[in-house]
Structure 1
Amino acid sequence: MDSSSVSVSDESSEAAASASTRSLVDAAAGNLSRTVSDVSTSFSEQCSSSVDHSGPFEPGAAVAKLIGRSPATNALSRLSMKPRADVLDRRSTDDEMELVKERFSKLLLGEDMSGGGKGVCTAVAISNAITNLYATVFGSCHKLEPLPAGKKGMWRREMDCLLSVCDYIVEFIASTQTLPDGTKVEVMATRPRSDIYINLPALEKLDAMLIEILDSFQDAEFWYADAGTRSFASVTSTSSTMSSSFRKSMHRNEEKWWLPVPCVPDAAGLSETARKDLQQKRDCANQIHKAAVAINSGVLSDMEVPDSFMALLPKSGRASVGDAVYRTMLGADKFSPDYLLDKLDIASEHDALAMADKVEAAMYVWRRKASASHGKARWSKVKELAADDDDKNVALANRAESLLLCLKHRFPGLSQTTLDTSKIQYNKDVGQAILESYSRVLESLAFNMVSWIDDVLFVDKSTRNK
């Protein structure tokens, strides 16, 4: 440590310790490699060396060199990933720099600013930081309108800081290096971890597309009336211009009466061009939602199942799902998850989430029993070993998995299951934490945008049919 950065007093050792602590925090904020020194370099078993790393999206080229000398620098430049350590050099004010230092200090201390050692692990701290940033920026957004410049700048600046950690999560590969005398030697080189290299550029592209869709509503033909504070008579100065649209749309959001209500011209609604453009943006946001859900589901499936979840599993899958569901799953020669869900007649998302928890718990009970009968092998190996055997536990686990997938397809806005929240809470892999939280917040934003566009289209249809 540079002695000039720490003021040591001969008269007081406590003052020296305090100054040293502050210097460490400042150094950590200025050198990103300190924040990820303990990041695991292990990579997902499902990503082999034969994976095509070209990916569906091409991230932008690097705009500045990384601070200091990082072991990942050569790999990043070779694979055209975008380093983000330059965000510290793009500060506009001293206050902005202090904010960045505060954010990284909080991550280093595991959200325990008292220094009492009660903080969470780094992976959970970064996951919470991304979630809280999303709530701060988009939590009050309920309209199809451009994001304010201040919030947009905050989102991009702080996400760049949080995602910069991924620049240092690498894996080692065998490579050759030519010495000055022409001799070729085999060395271990680094490259970005496969799951991060594939998924992170895709998430950044989805993020940019969602912001672009919001920015496109600068001059829209529809507007909003505040349903929570304005009366029907005072919605607009032209009295009856919006009143009919306002009333007709109320029953669509009656359970969320405080949300603003979209309004369209009372004469003929939206123009044909605006209607088609709105439908195209809805389809685009819906595809973004599906892509974010797919990435999030993949990352969650790669996370380890916590021991605390396995310890709380019931003794039998039958006790978890109930006798009626168990008999249907076991007795049918050709199992149909859609038929079973129709028979259950699940009315609300609360009931759907409860059923998902039961089915998921039963699935892991049957998987555990199947693994125990095959020498505690991995589940993928158990399925191969039991392919030719009439293993009841394997069959029930597979049917439970298909039932769970069908349930999630019927309720796309379903909250996370107990297993998913347990995985996030006890996960220690920083790379997986970033991918999971980033895809989760983009999934939420895309889902909200589809809902907002549906509200406008509903009001437009009601206006044209009156």
Structure 2
Amino acid sequence: MQIMTPKARSDVHVNLPALQKLDSMLIEVLDSMVDTEYWYVESGSRSGGRGKNNGERQTKKWWLPSPCVPEQGLSQFQRKRIVFQAKLVHQILKAAKSINEQVLLQIPIPMAVMDALPKSGRSSLGEDLYHAITTDYIPIEEIFVSLSLKTEHSVLETMNRLEGALFAWNQRISEERSRRSPARHSWKFMKDSSSELEKMSACIERVETLIQLLKSRFPNLPPTFIDVVKVQYNEVIISLSWHNMPVG
């Protein structure tokens, strides 16, 4: 008889102590929110006080309760307390997102999805962005400004294009290095190939810098296409592994 016991993945297990610490810190913040001068009301409620959106609610997240404060506003003590709690929660969020990003980086892109990704950096980026990335003298900050990103959708679309280019270039570099052999190719071929790989490596570095800039300017973006499929595929594998496990 074989006994089944749950086991955390190694990449998750190594981060569990930090995640548990962050969870405890967040619970402490929530538990400290007692005797507050503010409260929350459901949409359409006529509770007294000054709300964030009096009258018709002008918000995308209409299902969330609205915060309300007394007509005279919050006391100085309550304001300082909220600012401190907000900064602490923001630091917890940043730490949790950093751990999440590191775990996602270690999850391979599923083979079933690779065929749907662009086969070249140029096709993923489009001509204008490709030209900007491959032109060394154009600063990354200038490229960012030229993108004229107005909406969350446009930012996410740009992130998907950049990550698609990263995948294509990294795949190309991996393939070139695996099949390079001095015995099979001339010195001129090897030199040209090395020059091409160096150009791609430089482009990868510039794209990664631009991605980090986008993440810093738009910290609350939804997950990218590649991150979504990594998580979905990982859930399927875990489910299949669990169901196919022998029970005795």
| 1:362 maps to 2:186 | no
Residue from 44, 47, 67 that aligns with 1:229? 44
CA gap of 1:274–1:414, structure 2 versus 1, over 3 A, is: same
* Equivalence map 1:282-431=2 (5 Å): 282-333=86-137, 335-336=139-140, 338-375=141-178, 389=195, 391-427=198-234
In structure 1, how many angstroms separate the alpha carbons of the residues matched to 2:162 and 2:170? Answer: 12
> Aligned residue pairs: how many?
223
Task: Work out whether residues 53 and 66 of structure 2, in 8 Å CA contact, stay in contact via their aligned partners in 1.
Answer: no
* Equivalence map 1:63-78=2 (5 Å): none
Task: Name the counterpart of 2:70.
Answer: 265
Task: Name the counterpart of 1:206.
Answer: 22
Query: TM-score, normalised to structure 1's length?
Result: 0.44
Task: Work out whether residues 250 and 261 of structure 1, in 8 Å CA contact, stay in contact via their aligned partners in 2.
Answer: no
The offset of 1:339, in angstroms, is 2.0
In structure 1, how many angstroms separate the alpha carbons of the residues matched to 2:207 and 2:44? Answer: 47
The offset of 1:307, in angstroms, is 1.1
Q: What are structure 1's unaligned runs of at least 5 residues?
A: 2-27, 37-164, 170-192, 237-241, 378-387, 431-466
Secondary structure of 2:40's aligned partner:
strand
The two structures, once aligned, show a CA RMSD in angstroms of: 2.6
Q: After the TM superposition, which parts of structure 1 deviate over 4 Å for at least 4 consecutive aligned residues? A: 247-253
Task: Work out whether residues 110 and 230 of structure 2, in 8 Å CA contact, stay in contact via their aligned partners in 1.
Answer: yes
1:66-109 CA-partner distances (Å, limit 9, x unpaired): xxxxxxxxxxxxxxxxxxxxxxxxxxxxxxxxxxxxxxxxxxxx
Task: Name the counterpart of 2:32.
Answer: 216
CA gap of 1:249–1:288, structure 2 versus 1, over 3 A, is: farther
What percentage of residue pairs aligned between the two structures are identical? 37
Task: Work out whether residues 313 and 361 of structure 1, in 8 Å CA contact, stay in contact via their aligned partners in 2.
Answer: yes
In structure 1, how many angstroms separate the alpha carbons of the residues matched to 2:77 and 2:56? Answer: 27
Quick one: which amino acid aligns to residue 21 of structure 2? K
In structure 2, how many angstroms separate the alpha carbons of the residues matched to 1:335 and 1:355? Answer: 17
Task: Name the counterpart of 2:84.
Answer: 280
Task: Name the counterpart of 1:34.
Answer: 4
Quick one: which amino acid aligns to residue 359 of structure 1? L
The offset of 1:250, in angstroms, is 6.5
* Equivalence map 1:118-197=2 (5 Å): 165-166=7-8, 193=10, 195-196=11-12
Q: What are structure 2's unaligned runs of at least 5 residues?
A: 181-193, 239-248
The offset of 1:308, in angstroms, is 2.1
Work out which structure has the larger RCO, using CA pairs closer than 8 Å and 6 or more positions apart in sequence.
Answer: 2
The offset of 1:287, in angstroms, is 0.3
In structure 1, how many angstroms separate the alpha carbons of the residues matched to 2:57 and 2:124? Answer: 36
In structure 2, how many angstroms separate the alpha carbons of the residues matched to 1:328 and 1:315? Answer: 19
Secondary structure of 1:298's aligned partner:
helix
In structure 2, how many angstroms separate the alpha carbons of the residues matched to 1:414 and 1:305? Answer: 20
1:201-241 CA-partner distances (Å, limit 9, x unpaired): 11011111112211111211111232x232xxx323xxxxx
Quick one: which amino acid aligns to residue 47 of structure 2? V
In structure 2, how many angstroms separate the alpha carbons of the residues matched to 1:296 and 1:316? Answer: 27
